[in-house]
Amino acid sequence: MSRKRLLVVGVLLVALVFALPAYARDFTIAMVVKGAGNPFFEACRKGGEEATGELGLNFIFQAPATPTSEGQIELIDALIAQQVDAILVSANDPDALVPMLRRAMDRGIIVVAFDSGVAPAGRHLFLNQADMELIGRIQVQMLAEMIDGEGEIAILSATSTMANQNTWIQWMQEELKEPEYAKMDLVAIVYGDDLREKSYNEALGLFRSRPNLKGIISPTTVGLAATARALEDQGLSGKIALTGLGLPSEMAEYIRNGTSEAIALWNPIDLGYVSTYMAHGLLTGTLKGEIGEVVNVGRMGERTITEAADGGLEVVLGAPFVFDIDNIDEWADVY
């Protein structure tokens, strides 16, 4: 072997030795979701992979075989033992994970909750998928487009005590006060209690009691799917417009056949993507985790840290994502 070649090898070895510590300092971000084999969380994982790819971080994805808090606690324990730098978690229980997440935080690990949060004591930040106001308003906007802003409309909600739904309905009513909806008339709010049969029957009741009904908003996945089926069974597809919050996989057939032209929900890929950027900001120290700080979230632009309803800190993802005939094929398999 020539001396030159030896030299090259030597230089390469030295370079490797110097490169190794740099590689070892790369941050590792771990995502722990509720359970294995859930398409919604596979989409979250895609977002996490995308963001860690952009930021040059290592990414670990873990899910318990069965969706239990005990399983998640066991996984988080192992993540603490292998000294990951940040944990992104969608919790099966807002309280049960707190002791283990506190231990993680005590050992210097950043904890960002997303999708299903944990109590403030067990997290640094929460990524809230739902901007209450935008979610409420967009459903009225979608329905107005379907019925040309004219006619009687109704809301089929979950139970009358659901905090989320009630807040959205308040924002719908706020949006309806705008002048462009002057000819739209909210004539009924009914509750299907998030049960398929009851929602279906409440929808039938609406068709009978309100013969002039032009559109229905159902801000709950169960209610939306049940109403769509009721419309189809009664041959009312296309006569009464339908929109609301629903899972693309559940609603795909109704979107394709025109029973519901468009629905909205948050985008799970964005959830994984943005929570990764939040953890990265806290890791690098560009974020301190204080109210009013601006978070850089890559392709999504910027978000601001605000106080959450539970007293902790959160970042709101933003406007919900609209699914219609143009993108439903792409999303129907995702979640």
Partner 1 sequence: MRKLLRHWEFILLILLVGVFILMSNLSPYFLNLRNLLDSTVHFTEKGVIAVCMAFIIISGNMDLSVASNMAMSAAVMGIAFRSGIGIWPSALLCLLVGMAGGLFNGLIITRVKLPAMVATLATFSLYRGIAYVLLGNQAITGYPYEFATLGQGYFPGTNIPNQFVIFIALAVIFGFILHKTTFGRSVYAIGNNEDACRYSGLPVDRIKVILFTVNGLLAGLAAVLLTSRIYSTRPNIALNYELEIITAVVLGGVSIKGGRGSMIGVVLALFLIGASRFGMSLLNIPGQMMTVVIGLMLIIAILLPQLLDRLSGKQGKTA
CA distance 31 to 88: 5
CA distance 71 to 69: 5
Question: The dihedral of CA 225, 325, 40, 131: what is its sign?
Answer: negative
Of the candidate spans 43-51, 57-65, 226-234, 276-284, the one that interacts with partner 1 by CB under 8 A turns out to be: 57-65
CB 111 within 8 A of CB 124: yes
CA distance 238 to 274: 37
Select from 44, 93, 100 the least CA-distant residue to 77.
100
Among 27, 55, 57, 64, binds partner 1 (CB under 8 A): 64
Residue 175 beta carbon to partner 1: minimum distance, rounded to whole angstroms: 30
CB 249 within 8 A of CB 333: yes
Q: Of 118-157, which residues contact partner 1 (CB under 8 A)?
A: 119
Among 43, 73, 156, 231, binds partner 1 (CB under 8 A): 73
Of the candidate spans 9-17, 74-82, 248-256, 272-280, the one that interacts with partner 1 by CB under 8 A turns out to be: 74-82
Q: Which residue has the tokens 């001396």?
A: 3
Of the candidate spans 73-81, 176-184, 207-215, 307-315, the one that interacts with partner 1 by CB under 8 A turns out to be: 73-81
CA distance 132 to 188: 21
Residue 60 binds partner 1 (CB under 8 A): yes
Contacts of 7 (CB under 8 A, 6+ apart): none
Residue 39 binds partner 1 (CB under 8 A): no
Please say which residue, 66 or 306, places its beta carbon nearer to partner 1: 66
Among 29, 88, 96, 226, binds partner 1 (CB under 8 A): 96
Token duo for residue 105: 């935080």
Among 38, 68, 116, 164, binds partner 1 (CB under 8 A): 68
Residue 160 binds partner 1 (CB under 8 A): no
Select from 312, 314, 316 the least CA-distant residue to 121.
312
Measured between alpha carbons, how far is residue 84 from residues 64, 107, 224 in Å?
18, 10, 41
Among 49, 54, 98, 133, binds partner 1 (CB under 8 A): 98
Residue 192 beta carbon to partner 1: minimum distance, rounded to whole angstroms: 17
Count, residues near partner 1 per rule CB under 8 A: 31
Residue 278 binds partner 1 (CB under 8 A): no
Binding site for partner 1 (CB under 8 A): 30, 36-37, 60-66, 68-71, 73-75, 77-79, 81-83, 93-99, 119
